[in-house]
Amino acid sequence: MPEENIKTSKRVLEPYDRISEVLFGLIMVLTFTGSLSVAEAGRDDVRTMLIGALGCNLAWGVIDGILYLMGCLADKGRNLKTLHAVRGARAPEAAQKLIADALPSVIASVVQPAEYEAIQQRLRELPEPPARARLSRTDWMGGLGVFLLVFLSTLPVVIPFLFVRNAFLALRISNAIAVTLLFVVGYAFGRVTGSRPWVTGIALVILGAALVAMTMALGG
């Protein structure tokens, strides 16, 4: 059985995944820009903040990408284990339970016993599956996408500090960009979840500010 047929349940960067990664990156960079004291900040302080923000999101982008790949591998391994178990099950009841556990509960509730038997038979007719799961090119591209989302979400918020020498003005522009991005992310989340996008956008701005304040208060 070709390796690419052992699918992970994780689609490559679903809308919710993209929204979560961008939100994470924004919160991380805001903990750095929010800690900058514009009344006392010099160019060295701004430079230190920029290095910290970019370096932190670079590191967390790598970590998140690795965690994504680990999740893909775990999903594939679980699917492959279920496939081997279903193909090797001798009792129809055992195969039925394995297949039902692998299906969403709503779908499993309407599948009839005869349909479970047909599924097991078709799985047995497939070519021999691989012994262990492996990451595919699609998985690696997904991991790269996660890294880029976390890291690139830093750039719009820190760009004002690169081109505006007045730290007070740069911080105000940066905050305006961050609030706008938080609203856009919340608006997109509202559309994905079927909620009211405008309300969700405003709520995420408030939630993002609270999370940044909490992170800074805890020394993050």
The answer to whether residue 94 sits within a structural domain is yes
pLDDT score of 70: 93
Average pLDDT of the segment spanning 57-65: 89
Q: Look at 25 and 199; give whichever has higher pLDDT.
A: 199
Inside any domain, residue 67: yes
Query: What does the pLDDT average to over 15-35?
Result: 78
For residue 9, being part of any structural domain is answered with no
Residue 3 counted as domain residue: no
Give domain status of residue 189, yes or no.
yes
Segment holding 214, helix H or strand E? helix 197-217
pLDDT above 50: residue 195: yes
- Compute the average pLDDT of residues 99-120: 86
**What confidence score (pLDDT) does residue 6 get?**
53
Report the number of distinct structural domains present in the chain.
Answer: 1
Cβ-count burial 24-51 (b if 16+ within 10 Å, e if not): bbbbbbbbbbbebeeeebeeeebeebbe
The answer, yes or no, to whether residue 41 has pLDDT greater than 70, is no
Q: What value does the mean pLDDT take over residues 80-109?
A: 86
Residue 96 near residue 85 (C-beta atoms within 8 A): no
CA distances from 219 to 38, 79, 154, 215 (A): 19, 41, 20, 6
Tell me what pLDDT residue 62 has: 92
Is residue 111 one of the residues assigned to a domain? yes
pTM: 0.73
Q: Say if 46 falls within a structural domain.
A: yes
* Host domain of residue 27: 15-217
Per-residue confidence (pLDDT) for residue 38, from 0 to 100:
55
Q: pLDDT confidence of 220, banded at 50, 70, 90?
A: very low
Its sign, for the CA torsion 138, 141, 146, 149, is negative
Arithmetic mean of pLDDT, 62-66: 90
- 4: in domain: no
Among 14-18, 24-28, 158-162, the minimum mean pLDDT is found in 14-18
